[in-house]
Structure 1
Amino acid sequence: MTKLKSLSYLLLCFVLSACASMGDGSKQEKQQKILSMKNQVLTQLFKEKPHSRKVVEGAKGYGVFSNANINLLLVSAGTGYGVVKNMSTQQHTYMNMAEGGVGLGMGAKDYRIVMVFHTQKAMNHFVENGWTFGGNADAAAVASDKGASIEGEAYFGDVTVYTFTESGLALQATVKGTKFWVDSELN
């Protein structure tokens, strides 16, 4: 059983590093890739939840993240990247993310997160500290434009969070922590 766990962890690390990789390119090319992802995600969010446009436009700032997540039996992990935009200064802060958790589940998914910061204090705290912790239960089966997923919209004080699955197949109930941090290479 120990060899099976070791193999599972090794596979998990390999898949996550491949899924979240930005690939090769210059600093500017990587920044542009993230900004393109941000624009595509916002377009999708505004189409699926039209009221969200006013929420984002009226906010002090927002963050958009792309995350690949794998859940193998009792362990869940994910990595990703994104950007926070300060609406007052129009400045972008490029960030990375990683998550880990425990719980029951199986599968892999590629999902997006949009965080809307309603106060400058909430946005500054996120960029400077970036740590969140919480539970997660979801089901997703999405490939291309076909499939279904259960996701939502959550409110955490001065932050509204929208999530949706881009692709994947997963059934999981986990308690996990997520760490966001400033990408020193891209800023």
Structure 2
Amino acid sequence: MKIYQWIAAGAAIVALTGGNAFAEATKAEKRAELIKSSHATLADFYKAEPKLKGMVEKSTGYATFTTYGLSFLIGGAGGKGVVHDRKTGKETFMDMAQASAGVQIGASQSRVLIVFKNEKAVQNFVDKGWEFGGGGAASAGVADKKVGSGSGENLISDATYYTLTPNGLQYGGAIAGTKFWKDKDLN
């Protein structure tokens, strides 16, 4: 084998193994960004509703998600988040998707906080994900003012689900057509 063939083979090996190291660095960066976003989401929820801090601190676990969506009669949204198991300290990275239909138009961003009431609820959410259909809520607001109906929470399977929009805490956060599952790439 001539020297240029050895150099080409060596370059190919470096490119193949170096690409894997780059992918791992990217994976670590994505995880770090999601954890940073989770902390910021918690801070915003605590600012909107201070009682949530005590609930999260006493819980067996919680999850935070950021979602982005578009709608024109039929809507869809997607997002990523982190489940924090307070008992084990483990963090699990998750995906979520939403679908809706009705009189709607526009783009939206929201953040979700799910507070788990027991370890079984945390494990079921992480291992099986959740899927919902039906349900609804009312929320309206401008800037820091908000108006809503309901108690500010939705109880689901030993967990409480909150939605925070740019207009404030969404009372009774609609979860119709929402699915959660583990992120295979980040776990």
Shorter-chain TM-score category? Answer: 0.7 to 0.9
C-alpha distance in structure 2 between counterparts of 1:124 and 1:177, whole Å? 21
Q: Supply the AA of the counterpart residue of 1:153.
A: E
C-alpha distance in structure 2 between counterparts of 1:122 and 1:48, whole Å? 25
How many residues were matched structurally?
153
Shift of 1:126: 1.3
Q: Could you tell me which residue of structure 2 aligns to residue 129 of structure 1?
A: 128
Shift of 1:39: 0.4
C-alpha distance in structure 2 between counterparts of 1:48 and 1:164, whole Å? 8
Q: Could you tell me which residue of structure 1 aligns to residue 186 of structure 2?
A: 186
1:76 and 2:75 matched: yes
Max Rg structure: 2
Q: Supply the AA of the counterpart residue of 1:64.
A: T
Deviations 1:67-86 (A, max 9, x none): 0122212x111000000010
C-alpha distance in structure 2 between counterparts of 1:157 and 1:80, whole Å? 21
**Which consecutive residues of structure 2, in runs of 5 or more, have no partner in the other structure?**
1-24, 168-173
Deviations 1:82-116 (A, max 9, x none): 00010011100001111112222112110000000
Q: Could you tell me which residue of structure 1 aligns to residue 60 of structure 2?
A: 60
Deviations 1:124-149 (A, max 9, x none): 1111222222323445566xxx3655
CA contact (8 A) 1:97 1:181 kept: yes
Q: What are the within-5 Å matches in structure 2 for residues 5-154 of structure 1? A: 26-73=26-73, 75-130=74-129, 131-139=131-139, 146=143, 148=145, 152-154=152-154
C-alpha distance in structure 2 between counterparts of 1:123 and 1:175, whole Å? 18
Q: Could you tell me which residue of structure 1 aligns to residue 158 of structure 2?
A: 158
CA contact (8 A) 1:102 1:176 kept: no
CA contact (8 A) 1:149 1:165 kept: no
Q: Normalised by the size of structure 2, how large is the TM-score?
A: 0.73
Quick one: structure 1 residues 72 and 175, their matched pair in 2 at CA, closer, same or farther if it must change by over 3 Å?
A: farther
Q: Percent of pairs identical after alignment? A: 34
Quick one: structure 1 residues 175 and 153, their matched pair in 2 at CA, closer, same or farther if it must change by over 3 Å?
A: closer
C-alpha distance in structure 2 between counterparts of 1:40 and 1:70, whole Å? 23
Q: Which stretch shows the higher mean deviation, 133-142 or 30-39? A: 133-142
